[in-house]
Amino acid sequence: MSYPYQIKNLEAYHEAYKNSIENPEKFWGEIAEHFFWRKKWDKVLEWNFKEPSIKWFQGGKLNITENCLDRHLNTMGDTPAIIWEPNNPEEQHRTITYKQLHHKVCQFAQVLINNGVKKGDRVCIYMGMIPELAIAVLACARIGAIHSVIFGGFSAQSIADRLEDAQATFIITCDGAFRGAKDIPLKAVIDDALIGNKTIHRVIVCTRTRTAVSMIEGRDVWWEDEIKKVDAQGIHFVEAAEMDAEDPLFILYTSGSTGKPKGVVHSTAGYMIYTHYTFVNVFQYQLHDIFFCTADVGWITGHSYIVYGPLSAGGTSLMFEGIPTFPDAGRFWSIIDKFKVNVLYTAPTAIRSLMGFGLGPIQGHDLSSLKILGTVGEPINEEAWHWYDEHIGHKKCPIVDTWWQTETGGIMISNMAGITPGKPGWATYPMPGVAPILVDDKGNEVTEMEEGLMRGNLCITQPWPATLRTTYGDHERCRTNYFVTYDNLYFTGDGALKNSEGQFRITGRVDDVLNVSGHRIGTAEVENAINMHSGVVESAVVGYPHDIKGQGIYAFVIYTGSHGQDTHGTSDLVRKDILQTVTRIIGAIAKPDKIQFVAGLPKTRSGKIMRRILRKIAEGEIKSIGDTSTLLDPSVVDDIVKGAI
């Protein structure tokens, strides 16, 4: 495996960038030549952002697992594909070579076939971070089933909604998952999600924690038993399904500004090529580097930079089951030392939380194998950037600040390690093929600088290969969410700055979406969950700056009874009840950090909640609340300010 398209210096970046924008078909067509195709494409790109309709490599036939596994077997069969570090450091780690991974994926693909899974079926995967999760994902791709991984932190209700939306027919799960000192009963959550479900035929349960689980005859089967059957059949190889370039590869649910998460759909060839290209270039990946992405496969970062990007490049992907603070806050550093990790890709929230433990936990761990550091998920504050640079990278590792989204499939704006210059707090340069512009609220391109900076809403003018293709089951939703706000542009939902050198700094969401510890949460979704709590009349949720999480969730709640006190106890108890409801409806990740009981919400005469005012109160910026004269009842603001937490 070699990467002839790996960019080696600044001039080459500028050259590639120019070519990619002037002639995207030629640019991506040449890169695509380096992959394994059953049949070459007829046309590299056809698109319009009106419908939208985006088609890359039409007519091409391929299977992504042949590109991630089979094509490496001859030259790199014994190279580790996945190194897995368990939650408990006392437990043995596992190393799975390309040959072994190929074998395991074939075996499990046969399990899926034996259980009746067919090309195009939607398979929900709800597992902890064990190698079997990657195997399940790849086995789906091998037979052309569409995987939809759900993060282990989501509740039964969230899973039920997603199963319904995707019309999923199969589930792959575990008995439980180990995360830090906790043991999460995944199968029990699935059982709750399945009450009343009519579409699921089968649940395949992989053993991890050996927690007691109920196994329903005719519906639930054990992973290990199913593998034994495949062995008894004597099957070691499963032919990969021939997929169209534009066949959907997976659905991944993500929050937006409406109450219901949407199923972002990525298709096969474009996603594969783009995640591969960005992996190789942003991280300047060299064969045999140990690449450690600390994300969970339940999020897009894990899909693209634990599974598909690294494996398509014949890379070695380190997968970690646990959390950064277990058994102590030195866990990442001990893993880096243990496996001589070369590239670390993590989130600002993790860096900030580890910073809080001081330098002690780093001591005694040799971090000298590190060459490159990366961050993703939210803007990184300068303090965290410098700490990462000094204490983890020892000022010798470039830090790549990678901006992208579930919908973009892969990294969109980032420096390339050691190739293009980085800048603390700035994602900097667009990837080849990515054409970002800033527009004002009317959609006009911002061209004027103010104090050396342009400021606007971040949009993309032309498709890149991993553009989302649709939102599952509702194409209109995809159109209105991303392609209607500004004519003929993909709107990211983020605000950004651009300097005279053409570098970008992402300032954060400009819609009603929060970013809590790098996870996207829609305010409307949290409000819906709070409103389901008995006794809640109405609520409004906003974000506020949080030292570790980036943003915290602040909920203003109108509750029957006086300020949250009723026959059910004190307001503290009612707060806890509401948190419990949110945990049930969405999951613990969406729990508000603060709940303030209020008598009324600031509304305009037409009944719209003025979130701007609530945001100011939550941020503690009472002085800059601004004009309240358009409110139906301006006095509610004073009351809320008085009760602010």
Pair 512, 530: CB distance under 8 Å: no
# chain residues binding ligand WT7, by CB under 6 A: 23
Q: Which is nearer to ligand WT7, 548 or 632 (CB)?
A: 548
Using CB under 6 A, pick the residue from 298, 430, 493, 602 that binds ligand WT7: 493
Q: Nearest 5 degrees, angle CA 620-CA 624-CA 628?
A: 110
Other CB atoms within 10 A of residue 364 CB = 10
- CA 90 to CA 70: how far, in whole Å? 33
Q: How far is the CB of 400 from ligand WT7 (least distance, A)?
A: 9
Q: Which is nearer to ligand WT7, 145 or 350 (CB)?
A: 350
Binding piece for ligand WT7, criterion CB under 6 A, among 173-181, 318-326, 459-467, 502-510: 502-510
* Placement of tokens 């004002």 in the chain: 440
- CA 615 to CA 552: how far, in whole Å? 11
Contacting ligand WT7 within 1-30 (CB under 6 A): none
Measured in whole angstroms, how far is the alpha carbon of residue 508 from the centre of its chain?
Answer: 16
Q: How far is the CB of 341 from ligand WT7 (least distance, A)?
A: 20
Q: How far is the CB of 505 from ligand WT7 (least distance, A)?
A: 8
Residue nearest to ligand WT7 (CB): 406
- CA 348 to CA 143: how far, in whole Å? 37
Q: How far is the CB of 464 from ligand WT7 (least distance, A)?
A: 14
Contacting ligand WT7 within 283-302 (CB under 6 A): 300-301
Contacting ligand WT7 within 366-385 (CB under 6 A): 376-379
Q: How far is the CB of 522 from ligand WT7 (least distance, A)?
A: 11
| Per-residue mark of binding to ligand WT7, 507-526 (x: CB under 6 A) | -xx-----x--x-x------
Q: Which is nearer to ligand WT7, 60 or 377 (CB)?
A: 377
**349 part of the interface to ligand WT7, by CB under 6 A:** no
**551 part of the interface to ligand WT7, by CB under 6 A:** no
Binding piece for ligand WT7, criterion CB under 6 A, among 48-56, 83-91, 314-322, 404-412: 404-412
* Placement of tokens 């992989």 in the chain: 206
Other CB atoms within 10 A of residue 22 CB = 9
**422 part of the interface to ligand WT7, by CB under 6 A:** no
Q: What does residue 287 show for φ and ψ, rounded to 5 degrees?
A: -50, 135
Q: How far is the CB of 645 from ligand WT7 (least distance, A)?
A: 25
| Per-residue mark of binding to ligand WT7, 201-240 (x: CB under 6 A) | ----------------------------------------
Pair 58, 246: CB distance under 8 Å: yes
Pair 166, 251: CB distance under 8 Å: yes
Using CB under 6 A, pick the residue from 97, 158, 353, 406 that binds ligand WT7: 406
Q: Pairing mode, if any, of strands 536-546 and 248-254? A: unpaired
Q: Which is nearer to ligand WT7, 295 or 595 (CB)?
A: 295
**388 part of the interface to ligand WT7, by CB under 6 A:** no
3-state secondary structure of 561: coil
* Placement of tokens 């006086």 in the chain: 562
Using CB under 6 A, pick the residue from 13, 403, 464, 490 that binds ligand WT7: 403
3-state secondary structure of 252: strand
Pair 121, 169: CB distance under 8 Å: yes
Binding piece for ligand WT7, criterion CB under 6 A, among 80-88, 391-399, 470-478, 486-494: 486-494
- CA 130 to CA 283: how far, in whole Å? 24
Q: What is the dihedral of CA 18, 19, 21, 23, to 10 degrees?
A: 150
Binding piece for ligand WT7, criterion CB under 6 A, among 83-91, 505-513, 567-575, 600-608: 505-513
**315 part of the interface to ligand WT7, by CB under 6 A:** no
Listed residue (28, 94, 16, 41) closest to 464, CA to CA = 28
- CA 415 to CA 7: how far, in whole Å? 12
- CA 634 to CA 101: how far, in whole Å? 63
What sign has the CA pseudo-torsion 331, 335, 337, 338?
positive
What radius of gyration do the chain's Cα atoms show? 24
Output the six-digit token pair for 248.
């959907």
Pair 339, 83: CB distance under 8 Å: yes
Listed residue (304, 252, 291, 257) closest to 412, CA to CA = 304
Listed in sequence order, the residues at least 6 apart from 120 whose beta carbon sits closer than 8 Å to its beta carbon are 144, 145, 146
**494 part of the interface to ligand WT7, by CB under 6 A:** yes
| Per-residue mark of binding to ligand WT7, 590-629 (x: CB under 6 A) | ----------------------------------------
Q: Which is nearer to ligand WT7, 207 or 405 (CB)?
A: 405
Q: How far is the CB of 65 from ligand WT7 (least distance, A)?
A: 23
Using CB under 6 A, pick the residue from 170, 404, 472, 556 that binds ligand WT7: 404
**254 part of the interface to ligand WT7, by CB under 6 A:** yes
Q: Which is nearer to ligand WT7, 148 or 209 (CB)?
A: 148
Which residues of this protein are in contact with ligand WT7, per CB under 6 A?
Answer: 254, 300-301, 376-379, 401-406, 427, 492-494, 506, 508-509, 515, 518, 520
